[in-house]
Amino acid sequence: MIHYIFPKRFSLLKTFTITFLVFAFTIRVLLYVFCFNHIDFSIIKLFEIFSIGLWFDIGTLSYFLALYTTYLLLVPSQFYGSKLDKIITKFSYGLFLFISIFSFLAEVPFWQEYQRRFNFIAVDYLLYTYEVIENIHHTFPLPLVIGVIIIILVLSILFAKKRKAYTNTFKNTDSFKAKLIPSTIIFSLLIVFHFNIKNTEAEIFTNVNENELAKSGLYSFFAAYKSNELNFKDFYNTITSDENYTIIRNAITVESDSLLSHKKSIKRFIKNKGKEQKPNVIFIGLESLNARFMKRFGSKDNWTPAIDSLAKKSIFFTNLYATGTRTIRGMEAISLSIPPTPGRSIVKRENNSNLFTIGEVFKQKGYSRTFMYGGDGHFDNMTNYFSSNGFDIIDRKKRHRLANKLPTNRTRINDDEVTFENAWAACDGDLFNKLIKTVDEQYKSQQPFFNFVMTSSNHHPYTFPKGVINSDKRTRENAVKYADTTFEQFFEQAKNKPWYKNTVFVVMADHCAYSAGRTEINVQNHHIPAYIFNLKNEIPREVNKLSSQIDVFPTLFGYLNWSYNSTFFGKDISKMTPNDERAFIGNHRKVGLLKPNKLLILETQNQHTSYLWNKEKNELTTTKTDTIFLKETISYYQSAFELFKNGGLKNTEFNK
């Protein structure tokens, strides 16, 4: 019966099916072991995870099978076993095996870093092969990785030969009719999956790790590729346009603000009393720095003594949350003061030039603006985004990018300025040394400057110069300690500079490390440190109001007594009443509004979930939805989507 359904010409497809499913099962078992301590184990759930997983593995497999099946149907029987047939078949089989083996093995380090199957991060990284390959090279010995892939590939081919799959495939014994049954099965599976099965249908569990285990890595990858751009109105709950702008205009304004335009806009004039101060401003973005790494938030490991020490001398925001889980989400929130719109970050979208960023406010006040990064700003479109929004660029050019054109406002960190670099960037120590040199030159011009500086050393693969800290072992702990040490060294140098006394430092993490958890959005893993240091006439203190990354620069502008035009969603934290406290958190598809004791998450397919939030225990408990809270949440995200899409966040809006 089996032989009748799958004739000899389909022998290699049968062998590939067995091989693929065995690999998929093995990887799922391995990932299951990795996250065993983070799942709610039961025999029933174990069966459900692997059953759903098998179904999605079969769906993924159908794409491979359909490609070669199409070839089998198109090639006339008289060409079976010809030299060209053998070349195409053997090459295709080897290529499909290589793709499968590589993707399965790649899931292991990806899971270790993100606790997820392939998702939008993997899609983004596909565009930056140099960084990815170098990252793998620093994490695992590349010759070993290649060797393992070759060994598995050879063993798989030997397995096919032992089953006489090649011999049978090239025999001219099957009629066209005999090929119709397996072809119909394969194409039917493909049609079912491609048009009817969504990746989210694997998410039947309350535990995010179990949901991810039930998925297929490759299927998740292509699902993420298709959903990189999400039209809010197609996927999420919405409200009428009039109600939306009534809610959002009320939510983002304080008594001293003046709205400047028609109802469907958030353009306003921010009024602050007092004499304007114009110190230099340096923003330092701390890569992947969780609040809980700091002693102030309960760490007993003393990883960040310098950051802890400076925070005590600053206006320290102790209850502030990152909008997302990636650097470009942090950059989006900080520079645009906007909630995280679903899909990819605005930093990577089209039509993201000439936006009203914090840089525009600095420009209004006569400042130069510079974005500085120790790696190649081509990564994640950072250079294009910042340069097209008025910033000068200082970054590090990777040697492989010979065709990477230099904008006129771009300079490089030179080879002689770099003592150590990894896949991502020059080390933080080199970056800070470049910052010191740059600021020395900026100071000579007597023009106030704003520098947006992004660090990178606290990032996988956790490599850094030897001898700086007491251990050279590649671990998260040591990467944090290295980042903290270079941070301290920078301020030791800066204190001796003539520009130091008149320079304000804004320090904030871009996002947290370990951003996965048992629930889809782990609130604690969005909690980050943020503070403003060296601000004149302000007493160091802690500010415990619930707030967001998007609020930090509007707050700084308030402290500086600046009055300015704005399209920011962020508010001056010092002016927030208890009713104003809120934060925004998201993870690509799910976006939420956090209040002091509750959280509402908007999901695709016009779904939403309401939770009660116990901050002390970091616990979320589902609860009945408050209609007013739901509409407020929708309003923030619907407005952010519409205003960006319709050009309402452009500088030109203030000229209308």
Q: Which of 197-206, 279-288, 335-344 has the weakest average pLDDT?
A: 197-206
User: What does the block give as tokens for 26?
Assistant: 């093995």
What are the contacts of 615-621 at 24+ separation with CB within 8 A? Answer: 615/523, 618/522, 618/523, 618/524, 620/519, 620/523
Helix (H, G, I), strand (E, B) or coil at 423: coil
Q: Percentage of the chain with pLDDT > 90?
A: 59
Token look-up 């993420």 returns 224
Which parts of 214-302 fold into alpha helices (H)? 217-226, 232-235, 241-252
pLDDT per residue as tens digits for the range 24-63: 999 999 999 998 888 888 999 999 999 999 999 999 999 9
What region does 64 belong to: left with phi over 0, alpha with psi -120 to 50, or beta? alpha
Percentage, residues of the chain above pLDDT 70? 91
Spans of all domains in the chain: 2-226, 235-523+533-655
> What band does 3 get if pLDDT is binned at 50, 70 and 90?
very low
- Contact yes or no for 524/583 (Cβ under 8 A): no
**pLDDT at residue 408 above 90?**
no
Which sign, positive or negative, has the C-alpha torsion 583, 259, 328, 358?
A: negative
d(CA 424, CA 421): 7
CATH 3.40.720.10 fits 235-523+533-655, yes or no: yes
Report pLDDT for 106.
Answer: 85
Tens digits of per-residue pLDDT, 386-401? 999 999 999 997 654 4
- The total number of residues shown for the chain amounts to 656
Can you tell me the mean pLDDT for 54-77? 89
pLDDT at residue 517, as a whole number: 47
CB 521 within 8 A of CB 592: yes
Joined tokens for residue 21: 């499913």
Mean of pLDDT values over 608-617: 93
- For residue 516, pLDDT over 60 is answered with no
| pLDDT surpasses 50 at 1 | no
- For residue 168, pLDDT beyond 90: no
Q: Which residues contact 574 (CB under 8 A, 6 or more apart)?
A: 543, 555, 558, 559
Give the whole-angstrom CA distance, residue 50 versus residue 199: 15
pLDDT in tens, 325-366: 889 999 999 999 999 988 889 998 889 999 999 999 999 999
Distance CA 517, CA 527 (A): 13
Instruction: Give the pLDDT score at 54.
Output: 95
Which tens digit of pLDDT belongs to each residue from 440-464?
999 999 999 999 999 999 988 889 9
pLDDT band, very low/low/confident/very high, at 5 (cuts 50, 70, 90): low
Is the pLDDT reported for residue 438 higher than 90?
A: yes
Choose among 612, 570, 609: nearest CA to 589. Answer: 609
Burial of 595 (0-12, 13-18, 19+ CB in 10 A): middle
Q: Which pLDDT value is given to residue 606?
A: 87
Cα 122 to Cα 73, 131, 135, 222: the distances in Å are 34, 12, 13, 10
pTM of the model: 0.77
Phi, psi of 372 (to 5 degrees): -130, 130
Instruction: Say how far apart CA 329 and CA 342 lie, in whole Å.
Output: 11
User: 472 to each of 85, 464, 482, 489, how far by Cα in Å?
Assistant: 54, 8, 9, 18
Confidence label for 131 from pLDDT (cuts 50, 70 and 90):
low
The radius of gyration of the chain from alpha carbons, rounded to an integer in Å, stands at 27
